[in-house]
Structure 1
Amino acid sequence: MNPRRIFLTGARGFVGGHMLTRLGKSFPDAMVHSSAADITDRRAITSEIAAARPDVCIHLAAIAAIAEANRSSERAWHVNLDGTLNLAQAVREHVPDCLLLYASSADAYGGAFKSRVAVDEAVALAPLNTYAATKAAADLALGAMAAGGLRCVRLRAFNHTGAGQSDAFVVPSFARQLALIEAGRLPPVIRVGDLSPKRDFLDVRDVCGAYVDCITNAEVLAPGTILNIASGVPRQVGEVLQALLAAARLTDVAIEQDPAKLRPSDILLACGDSARARELLQWQPRVPWDQTIKDVLQDWRERLASA
């Protein structure tokens, strides 16, 4: 598929900024419309879709941080579920042939990770927090709409990071602290939560690549298709910290556990099986993890230097 008009929600967010860059490189002749509407305003989002008449709609807008969703659960449900339904209904009504790509989340698997094996798309969703529940609900709702003809694909991406991500997430949280220590603005102590869990980390650029691959391979994706976007490589959070420490220009940093950073969870390993994405899209992670680590740390050095 070679789209002429692409509609993007969440363009001002972490993934959205990277997505804009990738779309410009992959589809230089396409017109990309970055939505300015409040996704919870059904009339506004419907008006935008009707005017833009996109061939492809990429829906990234969401309350994405677990802590923020827990603090503002009503808002999280309104944005993540109601907003998604508003967009999907507008697409179905005004551009029924449009390909809707939905940013679901591997967090929706939740309790399924207690099996400690890499989960595939056939595993039942079992969310364990507000964010995961809102994403799971929207994911399932879109599946039902796909059965009624909505042309949508649900991408369940595992933990992804990169330049521009908020320090509400673990990798940039470590990187920001290390950059502050390097700059002499914090004592040489990094405060952490639980370092023992293992997670499936990706570079945000590889996640954006999966969206592009969905567009170029749209003809093989049936309505309602679910795709795990995962590295398949579980990395212990402590190993991620050690990689950042190795990349930092520091010789002696103490590590202290901060009770405020601890989250109750018995999910010791969360890893995904992305065989379906490899088969249908020929997608696989391409950015080396060491490069991701260096880029996140350098991003925080630059942000702090310009602050």
Structure 2
Amino acid sequence: MSERILITGADGFVGRALVRALRPCLRDQDRLFGAQRRADGSLDEGLQAVEFDLVDAGRIRQAIREVRPTCVVHLAAITAVQDAFLDRDQAWAVNCGGTRALGEAMLGEVPDARLVFVSTSEVYGGTFKLRASGLDEAALLDPANPYAASKAAADLLVGQMVRDGLRAVRFRPFNHTGPGQTERFVVPAFAAQIARIEAGLQPPTIRVGNLDACRDFLDVRDVVDAYRRAVLRHDLPSGIIFNLASGVPRRIGDVLTDLLARAQRPIAVERDPQRLRPSDTPVAYGHAERAAELLAWSPAIPWSQTLDDVLDDWRRRIAGGELA
């Protein structure tokens, strides 16, 4: 049987990494589709474009009817916490409402298709403050910001829709980074500033927010490897939840120190109050034994390589005049 895999957010940071991970696994008769809000040519070559907006339930249903996917990987979302704070209505409409519309379209048009839903570790929120150890999938959901709340609602909604017959797998990945990520996230924000300083485009001072928070970081290439494994599996229990985590909490200040050690010139550090996020969680890390057991997954890319690759990526982008 041929596979018809539809990826929402295929033109984003994680989506592009997933496409690269999936392509070597596809047979000649398989098809890979990328959903995007508008057909602007930004999809990777060879990906069949599907146009719909996650706030347009009618168009979503029409697209599912036309494509008839065997598997949908739902990555598209308002992913930046600061964006969700600025426009809470949009965050809820896209993250929760869009997920509902997609699930209902699948139930109505392709009831045998599988949904790989990508949630986030942010849904655990305040529970991180109550547990001295890392969290597993049984931890209480206690979202602490609008982004996390909208994703937690979508996560629970998918679980409820499983009871209606939706075939779904849920992932709760912890922080992930890698080449191609935007400056809206902490590791590339540091790397981009270092690259600009090295190129003489910025004074030799990095502006930072909270350096004391500890986070569980993964390489995006490891994360999409877990998604790839789920896409290729047809026997996973419907509704199952997988944390994706390294189990290692890394202090943000130490991440910066490691990046500065790779810099080609001395750089000072200056705290910027505008970069401090409200409701910050001091320590957040997780356990991923279930993914290890059922998906044979564990992080494979060394953290040092991730930092090297992110910094080198920004050096290339700055040298090429991108976002200089």
Q: What range describes the TM-score normalised by the shorter chain of this pair?
A: over 0.9
Determine the structure 1 residue equivalent to 2:254: 239
Asked if structure 2 preserves the Cα contact closer than 8 Å seen for 1:116 and 1:270, the reply is no
Q: Shift of residue 3 of structure 1? A: 5.4
- Structure 2's unaligned 5+ residue stretches are 36-50
Counterpart Cα distance in 1 of 2:14 and 2:123: 19
Conserved? CA contact 1:176–1:297, under 8 Å = yes
Q: Which runs of 5+ in 1 are unaligned?
A: none
TM-score w.r.t. the length of structure 2 is 0.91
Whole-Å Cα distance in 1 between the matches of residues 247 and 145 of structure 2? Answer: 23
Q: Which residue of structure 2 aligns with residue 296 of structure 1?
A: 310
- Counterpart of 2:225 in structure 1 is 209
SS in 1 for 2:261: helix
Query: Deviation at 1:10?
Result: 0.3
One-letter amino acid of the counterpart of residue 273, structure 2: P
> 1:63 maps to what in 2?
78
1:198 to 193, 206, 214: 214
Aligned to 1:281: 295
Which residue in the other structure is 2:40 paired with? none
**Residue aligned with 1:256, SS:** strand
Give the CA deviation at 1:248.
2.1
Distance, in Å, in 2 between the alignment partners of 1:46 and 1:194 is 43
Correspondence 1:305 to 2:304:
no
Alpha-carbon separation, structure 2, partners of 1:282 and 1:153:
16
Question: Alignment length, in residue pairs?
Answer: 304
Alpha-carbon separation, structure 1, partners of 2:84 and 2:2 = 34
Quick check: 1:194–1:262 contact (8 Å CA) kept in 2?
yes
The alignment status of 1:271 with 2:285, answered yes or no, reads yes
- 1:129-140 to structure 2, matched below 5 A, reads 129-140=145-156
Aligned twin of 2:105: 90
- Asked if the contact 2:191/2:311 (under 8 Å) is kept, the reply is yes
Question: How many Å separate the matches in 2 of 1:80 and 1:245?
Answer: 35
Q: What whole-Å deviation, never above 9, does each CA across 1:240-295 have from its counterpart, x for those lacking one? A: 11111122222x21111111111233521100110010011000001111111011
Contact (CA 8 Å) 1:162, 1:292: kept in 2 or not?
yes
- Counterpart in the other structure of 1:177: 193
Within the candidate set 107, 128, 134, 1:113 is matched to 128
How does 1:142-157 map onto structure 2 within 5 Å? 142-157=158-173
Over aligned residue pairs, what C-alpha RMSD do you find? Answer: 1.2
Task: Give how far 1:213 is off.
Answer: 1.1
More helix by share: 1
Give 1:169 shift. 0.5
How far did residue 116 of structure 1 move? Answer: 2.9
Give the TM-score of the pair, scaled to structure 1.
0.96
Matched, 1:31 2:47: no
CA–CA separation in structure 1 for the residues paired with 2:65 and 2:150: 26
Q: Deviations over 1:181-200 (max 9, x none)?
A: 00011111111111111100
Report deviation, 1:28.
Answer: 4.5
Query: Residue 11 of structure 2 aligns to a residue in which SS?
Result: coil
